[in-house]
Each structure stands twice: as structure tokens, then as C-alpha cells.
Structure 1
Amino acid sequence: MQLNTHLNINSSLCGKVTKLANNYAEVLLHTTYQMAADEKGLIHGGFIFGAADFAAMCAVNDPNVVLGAATSKFIAPVKVGAAVLYTASVISQKGKKREVEVKAFVSDRLVFSGSFTTFVLESHVLE
């Protein structure tokens, strides 16, 4: 399957798609010092969320998908050097609306979970 959305994403900041199927995606984010919030190496939550958002968009995999809303839980801290694996699954679809569940793991430890409400528009959101 081919990725059809968010093709200009910087994979060093938002992760790289490692698996893509119908209504499902996996994204791997390798964390770096540029993502650290402090001298102890805590990864800023914005990078964790950004990769989760990207994973949700990839699961929908439409060029005109946009994020409408999200609820998220940061369950455990992530440290510089960790590889974070995101799994994203479309769990419901009604008209233009898609609900996507995203989970993120470091090794086998759950570090993030979120529910993303996305919309597939008829044309690009900026048109």
C-alpha cells in the first residue's frame, strides 16, 4: 500500500511510516537531543503528540484528511534516544468523519494513547 497523505512531513521530527494497511498505520519515531525539553533528556510532549497525529493521518491515508479534535494521555515519560512505535487504527467511519485510536510504545511499555477525530474533505483545506 502507498502513502497518500502528508507526503512532505519531516520524518526526523514526526517519525517514519513502517507499516501501512487499510485503516491502519505504524510510525516509528527516533527521539533526539533536539527534541529534549531539559538537560535530563525528557522529550517534549509536542513531539510525541506530533508523531501520533501523523500516525492517525496515515491510518486514514487520504490526501485531504485533516485533524478536527484530539484527546490524549501522556502515560509515561520518553527520554532522548528512545525509539517510539505508534500504532494507529481507524475505529469508526461516518461520512467524512473518521475516529482513529493511536497508541505509542517504547519497547513494550505504553507511553501515550489518544483518540483523533479526523475529517476527509472534498478538497484541500487551504483551497
Structure 2
Amino acid sequence: MQLNTHLNIDTSLCGKVVKLEDNYSEVLLHTTVHMCADAQRLVHGGFVFGAADYAAMSAVNDPYVVLGASSCKFTAPVKVGDAVLCKASVVSEKGKKKEVDVQAFVNAKLVFEGSFTTFVLDKHVLD
């Protein structure tokens, strides 16, 4: 299957799609020192959220998908050097609206979970 959305994203910041199926994707984020928030090497949560968002968009896999809302929680810290695997599944669809659930893991430990409300538009959001 071919990725059809977010084709210009910086994968060093948002992760790389490593698995893509209908209504499902996995994004792997290798955390780096550039994502570090403090002297103890805690990764800023925005990078984990970005990878989860990218996974949600990839699961929908439409060129005109946009994020409308999200609800999430961070369940464990991520540190520099961790590999974060985000697993995204489209769980419902109504018209242009698709709900996507995402879970992120470091090894087998859950570090993030969220629900993303996406919309598939008829044209680019900036047009």
C-alpha cells in the first residue's frame, strides 16, 4: 500500500511509517537529543504527540485529511534514545469524519494513548 498523505513531513521529527494497511498504520519515532526537554533527557511530549498525529493521518491515508480534535494522555515518560512505536486504527467513520485511536509504546510499555477526530476534505484546507 502507498502513503498518500503528509508526503513532505520531516520523518526525523515525526517518525516514519513502518506499516500501512487499510485504516491502520504504524509510525516509528527514534527520539534524539534534539527532542530533549531537560538535563535528565526527558523527551518533550509534543514529539510523541506529533508521531501519534502522523500515525492517525497515515491510517486515514487521504491527501486532504486534517485533524479536527484530539483527546490524549501520556501514561509514561519517554527519554532520549527511546524508539516510540505508534499504532493507529480508524475505529469509526461518518461522512467526512473519521475517528482514529492511537496507542504508542516504548518496547511493550504503553506511553501514550489518544483519540483523534479527523476530517477528509474535498480539497486542500488552504485552498
Q: TM-score, normalised by structure 2?
A: 1.00
Secondary structure of the corresponding residue to residue 51 of structure 2: helix
Alpha-carbon distance in structure 1 between the residues aligned to 2:25 and 2:63: 15
Q: Secondary structure at the match of 1:110?
A: strand
Query: Secondary structure of 1:8's match?
Result: coil
Per the alignment, residue 23 of structure 2 pairs with 23
Q: What pairs with 1:1-127 in structure 2 (closer than 5 Å)?
A: 1-127=1-127
Q: Secondary structure at the match of 1:42?
A: coil
The structural deviation recorded for 1:76 is: 0.2
Paired with 2:91 and 2:72, the residues of 1 have a C-alpha distance of 16
Amino acid at match of 2:52: A
Q: Deviations over 1:20-73 (max 9, x none)?
A: 000000000000000000011000011010110000000000000000000000
Q: What's the CA shift for 1:74?
A: 0.3
Helix, strand or coil at the partner of 1:73: strand
RMSD across aligned positions (CA): 0.3
Determine the C-alpha separation between the residues in 2 that align with 1:100 and 1:117. Answer: 6
Q: 1:87: Cα distance to partner?
A: 0.2
Count of paired positions: 127
Deviation per CA, 1:83-124: give whole Å up to 9, x if none.
Answer: 000000000000000000000000000000000000000000
SS in 2 for 1:112: strand
Matches of 1:24 and 1:49 in 2, distance apart?
Answer: 17
Distance in structure 1 (CA, Å) of the matches to 2:63 and 2:39: 38
TM-score by length of 1: 1.00
What 5-or-longer segments of structure 1 have no aligned partner? none
Q: Partner of 1:126: helix, strand, or coil?
A: coil
Distance 1:27 1:99 in 2: 17
SS of the equivalent of 1:12 reads: helix
